[in-house]
Structure 1
Amino acid sequence: MEELSIKVDDSQFRRHLTNLEVAQLPFAAANALNDTAKDALEYIQRRMEVVFDRPTRFTKNALMVWRADKRNLEAQVKERPSVGKRHYLKVEEGGGARPQTGVEKLLSSRVAWGGVIRSVLPGEHARLDGSGNWSSGERNQVLSALGAQRDPRSNTTERSAKRAPKRARYFVPQHGLAPGVYRRARPDDIAVRVLKFSDKAPTYSPRLGFYDGVEDVWQRRLPEHLDRRLAEAVARAR
Structure 2
Amino acid sequence: MTATIINADLSVARAALAEFADAQLPFAIASTLNAAANGTRRNWRAIAKQRIDKPKRFTLDALTIVSRATKRRLVVEMAFGPKQRDYLRPSFEGGERGRKAIETLAGAPRGVPSKAVERDAAGNVPRKVYSAIYSRLLARDKSIVRDPPGVAPGIYLRKGRTFVPLFFTVPHTAYAKRFDMDADIVAVTRRELSKAAPKAIERALLTANREAAKLRRDAAKAARATARAARATAG
- TM-score, normalised relative to structure 2: 0.71
Distance 1:197 1:145 in 2: 18
1:182 Cα deviation after fit: 2.0
Pairing 1:191–2:183 present = no
Instruction: Tell whether the 8 Å contact from 2:32 to 2:200 is kept in structure 1 after alignment.
Output: yes
Structure number, greater radius of gyration: 2
RMSD of aligned residue pairs (Cα, Å): 2.5
Pairing 1:46–2:84 present = no
Distance 1:217 1:137 in 2: 35
Deviation by residue 1:18-55 (Cα, 9 ceiling, x = unmatched): 33431311111111111111211222211111222221
Q: Comparing both chains, which one has the higher relative contact order based on Cα–Cα distances under 8 Å and sequence gaps of 6 or more?
A: 1
The aligned residue for residue 233 of structure 2 is: none
Q: How does 1:4-153 map to 2 (within 5 A)?
A: 18-23=17-22, 24-66=24-66, 67-80=68-81, 83-84=82-83, 87-108=86-107, 117-146=108-137, 148=138
Considering fraction of residues, name the structure with more helix. 2
Distance 1:125 1:191 in 2: 11
Deviation by residue 1:190-224 (Cα, 9 ceiling, x = unmatched): 43212111122x22232233222222223333133
The aligned residue for residue 234 of structure 1 is: 205
Distance 1:144 1:213 in 2: 39
Instruction: Tell whether the 8 Å contact from 2:59 to 2:84 is kept in structure 1 after alignment.
Output: no
SS at match of 2:160: coil
Distance 1:197 1:33 in 2: 47
Identity %: 26
Distance 2:73 2:148 in 1: 59
Distance 2:63 2:190 in 1: 21
User: After the TM superposition, which parts of structure 1 deviate over 4 Å for at least 4 consecutive aligned residues?
Assistant: none
| Count of residue pairs the alignment pairs up | 193
SS at match of 1:216: helix
SS at match of 2:65: strand
1:157 Cα deviation after fit: 5.5
The aligned residue for residue 6 of structure 1 is: none
Instruction: Tell whether the 8 Å contact from 1:43 to 1:213 is kept in structure 2 after alignment.
Output: no
Which of 219, 225, 228 aligns to 2:190? It is 219
- TM-score, normalised relative to structure 1: 0.71
1:84 Cα deviation after fit: 4.8
